[in-house]
A and B are shown apart, each in its own frame.
Chain A
Amino acid sequence: MINLLSITDFWLWQFLGRLHPMMVHFPIGLLIVALILELVSWRKKDKSFRSGIYVVLIIGVVSAVLSCLFGLLLKSQDDYNSDTLTIHQWTGIATAALAILTLYLFKRSGSNARLLRVYRSFLLLSVAGVSIAGHMGASLTHGADYLTEVLPWGNENKILSDPNFSLASFANATNTLDESQVAALNIEVRSIFAHNCYKCHSAEKSKGELRLDRKDFVMRGGKSGEIINVGNPDQSEMIRRLHLPRADKESMPPKGKTLSEKEIATLELWIKVGAPWPDNPTEKSVYRVAELAPRKPTMPAGSSDLKNPIDKFVNVYFDDKNISWPNVVDDRIFIRRVFLDIIGLVPTPEKINTFASDNHPDKRELLVKELLDQNDDYAQHWLSFWNDALRNDYTGTGYITGGRFAITDWLYESLKSNKPYDLFVKELVSPDKKSEGFIRGIKWRGTINASQRVEMQAAQNISQVFLGLNLKCASCHDSFISDVKLFDAYAFANIFSDSTLEINRCDKPTGKFAGTKIIFEELGSVDSTLTVDEKLKQLADYLTAPKNGRLYRTIVNRVWAQLMGRGIVEPVDLMDNEPWSQDLLDWLASDFYENKNNLKDLIFKIATSKTYQLPSVGIKNENDIVNADYVFKGMHRRRLSAEQFVDAVSSIIDPVYSDTLKVYDPYKDSKKSELTYSRASLVKNDAFLTALGRPNRENVSTSRSSQANLLQALELTNGNKFNNTLESGSRKWKEKFETNEEIINELYKTSLGRYPEKSELTAANKLLGSSPNTENIQDLMWAIVLLPEFQLIY
């Protein structure tokens, strides 16, 4: 065996290797000259150049062969490792072979016209070969983009430095830079590397075994050891070499322009502050990624009058923001709030009075508990929220061709029995016949976009609803709002599929396939060889595992948003956004898990907190709720939902939907409802409910707009449905009550939970006149239920 290493180390071989870059110019030049001479003589049919061409070809061929040999010697002593080199090597060798053949054909051709044509073709091929090999060689020496980088359109893959980057902003930098400073500095450093060093130290070529295009390579250093000494620029090899005089053979960069003072200073600063290089810094905007693991923050000490843990965390937040605790709302406001938030109904005047006159110190806790125990009322309220989220409805697209399945029965029973949330999720992810509708998605007849096949719908919907993660972008192409890749989305969707799905990029098949993978790999790996049912069972277990803090943060944040008008994280479907209190969110999530995933317990904790009972806060503009500088001060006023409004009118005035209109009967045959009307959550969607904001449940929908609009106002002002209800109600009231006062007082008590003010009484009296008729009663009813005081939860 020949010891290759000792051979390549021999000085003569090294020397000859380094002659390669010089030698290559001979075959390049000479073969091209031969071709030019051939072209000149070809037209003139002149043979006088023939002997000249012969000599040129001979030298060309010999130098080509030598170039190849020297090139191989050079390769063995330097650290080339790219495809470019492989192509360069083989085109070079092929060119040498072609050149030899060309020379042979030249000798044989003489005046044989056919052979002459063959020879000329080969000469042309040789020149093409030498050009390609030459270009590849130049790319290796000068960098792949040496030619293109001066073109105005040739800069796409460069890491762009920020023209506004200023070292001065780091003047007082210590080891504690904030996130954005770190990102800015790192981008700047990588930009310097890219422009000055990648030519020799990146994926194409790693001189001295050094690469500067990735964090791990930079930290590892090269053949002669580490290049940076973190924290000490003076002792870093890289900085030493940058400062060396140009004549020194160790000076960097070895040729071309040196780095500017500012660039060197930037690198020194970067090393000094610890050479920060965030993981995955694919571009300048580094996406915030929320922690996956659960975390239980320690309970703040706080003042003794705050018993509820929520209040203790909010107290810390308030202290930090210099907010002092306002007084909690009075009993009348509180009872209306909890009634609407927990069971979706308005309290009766009797209930309000009893509650207000109750002197029990724990009466608010008792009331919340009492409401949570009204299982059917509770279920019929929260049914709407979950129908929106799980896009479950009684009518909708897909049913017509058997492409959709309702889960109402399962959902209602789950809410009514307060099914633990982990079990709730498990039964949706790994369903039986009653709950399969959620992951089966909506299937329309015909061919559909690959990103909307039902397996991908399942992946998207589970990500959105349970994990607060948007997978929609990534199901068509690599996401540009997060780090989720197309591959990840398909790997997740494959869990729901009985065969591996072909990856489609923007609806075009790629011929590639992903395995099976949960978006958050840390949760566990799903065995791709299992059946769909088995895979789903695994997935359900992994998703609900205690280590999946994200599942629990997502649900507590949703419930918080339902009761408070805004999530701790907002929007509630983007759980990577920053919470206004990480501690509160984390504590709620951990506590929720520890309390056996008990949703009612969570609602109880929130509704009995002092935080929940603070006076409501108004918002000037709907956009303010998602502003980056949002400050929490208390629950936000919101419009009654379509269902809350309709149920309130049904209970106070007259049924908007009669009992016979419900499409889902929760009482079956067992027990009859005490209500004389059907709750709006149990009826089909229609134009009235749509106008009031009930979504068509074609897509997951987890929040409703609180903004009123013209179409809604028109439905309420002249729509038949609403008008008929009021008309029928006014007739009954006319029968029931004698005087103006009775009617006015009753309306104010039942609708607004209070007696009218004197001025209100006067205005109402003026309308009703001396003796009330049905028309006037109807108009008074209309005006009162459209008052903001009736329309808002405050």
Chain B
Amino acid sequence: MNKGWNRREFLQRASAATLGAMTYSLPSSILSSCSSPGIASKADTVILLWMAGGMAHTDTFDPKKYTPYTKGMQANSVLSTFKSVPTSLDGIHFSEGLQSIGNVMNEGALIRSYVAADLGFILHSRHQYNWHTCYEPPQTVAAPHMGSWIASQLGSKNPVIPPFIDIGQRFTVGEAEELKAFHTAGFLGNEFGPFFIPDPSAGLESVKPPVGMSYERFERRNQLYKELISTSPVGEFGSDYQKESLQRSMEQAYMLLKSPESKAFDLSQERKESYDKYNTGRFGLGCLLARRLTEQGARFISVTTEYEPFKGWDTHENGYTRLIEMKKQIDAPIAQLILDLKKSGHLDRTLVILASEFSRDMMTEGRPGATVKEQVAQPDVIDDIKHYGMHRHFTDGCSMLLFGGGVKKGFVYGKTADERPCKTIEKPIKIAQVHQTIYHALGIPEDTHYVIEKRPFYTTPDGKGKAELELFA
């Protein structure tokens, strides 16, 4: 059931839930929300599985000719550093190490033709900013993250679960400031900003009384607060929005922290057998947390392999070796997430997306034909296995996966060339289409915008993005 929630009516949660009507959170002062009448939604929840750092398509979901490592090999001869393995779709192969995801591909759609923006000299965080906000940085106003647009338009699905949850990214890493620049609700206001859970196994800490405080004490403290408010001579201030919003927010926080749903944040409550299936590290546990929160009514969840310069998918060297590890991290938990959501019936109304800011190639930096300053020295002849891998940033052909949320099952969209530079040759799809496709699934109209500083700011630049309807069943 689709439970809408208006923060102003938070205290009437029970009645709001029975109404079952969609009520939207209202934006604050300088903003006004505008959009066409709603369209029928196909999904209530979005889970974004973020492959941070640039995931090479030819070594993951779009394998090409495999050339095993031999000392003295020609770099230009290498298109894939892994063997291809069959998937549950006829004629569709993945790169070795992704068999589990391959086995559930009959549940989702594979996009092989995402073309990332052309932003010149590569800075990962700029492309990530572009992917998450649909705008190229810098902008004249703070552009909101996709999750914040969704939070502002649909509100929480369950009042005690924040509408935008961001799992796995820490901001103590390199490029942290650039990462913060798009992990924000921007001009929509903090209210719609991300609720951060950097470490999924400590998720509960974010939603329980402070460390060392028992629930009894927490209850007593809140009781005192209410009592002091009612006895304090606040009458002379009358009633105003600052005071009201403060009390309302405090009440909301209190309810979240003591709600039974907050157990969903506690991974120790998961059956061991199931926990172990997901436990490939922080990303795997993030998938588990995302599943638990989805079951309790989350709206938008992002789970990231975490961006840290030169770590994770950001392979500037040892690409082959590193990818063995990365695949181990993601393969089982993602497949398990899909299977579990399907089993519990949530997959129908949950859109799961796997994406990365761009792809990688051994030879081409940026886009074929464009002159982009190279950042990785790639010897023509490979004498050391550390040079065997996709180390340069490639924007002209990237893979994405979509599951659930009304998306076609067992569908393949777009194509890349089989020869270097293995770029998109069929149905290129760009970021504005990706965003609109996600919004379409959620029933958010294409012309949704906010008026900021008197001008309309759309979910996609100038409101021009179009959903790719072919992806939907």
Contacts and interface: CB of A to CB of B under 8 A. Distances in A.
Contacts of A446: 119-123, 126
Contacts of B193: 711
B28 A622 contact: yes
A693 B228 contact: no
Contact of A707 (B119, B142, B241): B241
Given A710-B253, A760-B228, A447 B453 contact: no
Nearest to B214: A775
Interface stretch (A50-58, A142-150, A671-679, A712-720): A712-720
Nearest to A625: B29
B246 interface: yes
B250 interface: yes
Interface stretch (B76-84, B90-98, B218-226, B277-285): B218-226
B141 A472 contact: yes
A779 B121 contact: no
Contact of A713 (B29, B220, B252): B252
A402 interface: no
Contacts of B252: 710, 713
B217 A787 contact: no
A451 B135 CA distance: 13
A639 B249 CA distance: 14
Contacts of A709: 189-191, 245, 249
Interface in B188-219: 189-191, 193, 195-196, 205-213, 217
Nearest to B193: A711
Interface stretch (A178-186, A197-205, A290-298, A612-620): A612-620
A8 interface: no
A481 interface: yes
A525 B59 CA distance: 60
Contacts of A784: 228
A506 to B, nearest CB: 8
B257 A480 contact: no
Nearest to A445: B123
Nearest to B174: A400
Interface string A754-794: 00010110011011000000010001101110111101101
A400 B181 CA distance: 13
Given A706-B242, A710-B252, A779-B221, A399 B177 contact: yes
B247 interface: yes
Contact of A708 (B180, B224, B245): B245
Interface residues of A, number: 83
A639 B220 contact: no
A457 B227 CA distance: 51
A375 interface: no
Contact of A789 (B139, B175, B184, B232): B232
B240 interface: yes
Given A759-B231, A760-B232, A708 B123 contact: no
Contacts of B207: 718
B30 to A, nearest CB: 6
Contact of A699 (B141, B213, B231): B141
A698 B142 contact: yes
A620 B239 contact: yes
A622 B241 contact: yes
A705 B189 contact: yes
A661 interface: no
A481 B456 CA distance: 11
Interface in A722-765: 723, 727, 757, 759-760, 763-764
A448 B220 CA distance: 54
A614 to B, nearest CB: 13
A574 interface: yes
Given A397-B138, A444-B138, A446-B119, A620 B232 contact: no
A475 B217 CA distance: 56
B238 interface: yes
A388 interface: no
Nearest to A401: B123
A622 B257 contact: no
Contacts of A618: 237-240, 242-243
B234 interface: yes
Contacts of A779: 217, 220-221, 224
A690 B171 CA distance: 13
B178 interface: yes
Contacts of B184: 696
Contact of B181 (A397, A621, A723): A397
A687 B240 CA distance: 27
A783 B228 contact: yes
A167 interface: no
B6 to A, nearest CB: 13
Most buried by B among A399, A470, A714, A792: A714
21 contacts: A399-B177, A400-B177, A445-B123, A457-B138, A472-B453, A472-B455, A619-B240, A625-B29, A626-B29, A637-B240, A639-B246, A698-B181, A707-B28, A713-B249, A713-B252, A718-B207, A723-B211, A757-B232, A779-B220, A779-B224, A792-B242
Interface of B: 7, 28-30, 118-123, 125-126, 136-142, 162, 171, 174-175, 177-178, 180-181, 184, 189-191, 193, 195-196, 205-213, 217, 220-221, 224-225, 227-229, 231-234, 237-243, 245-250, 252-254, 256-257, 453-455
The 7 A-B pairs of least Cβ separation, nearest first, read: A618-B240, A447-B120, A713-B249, A713-B253, A709-B191, A446-B120, A723-B210
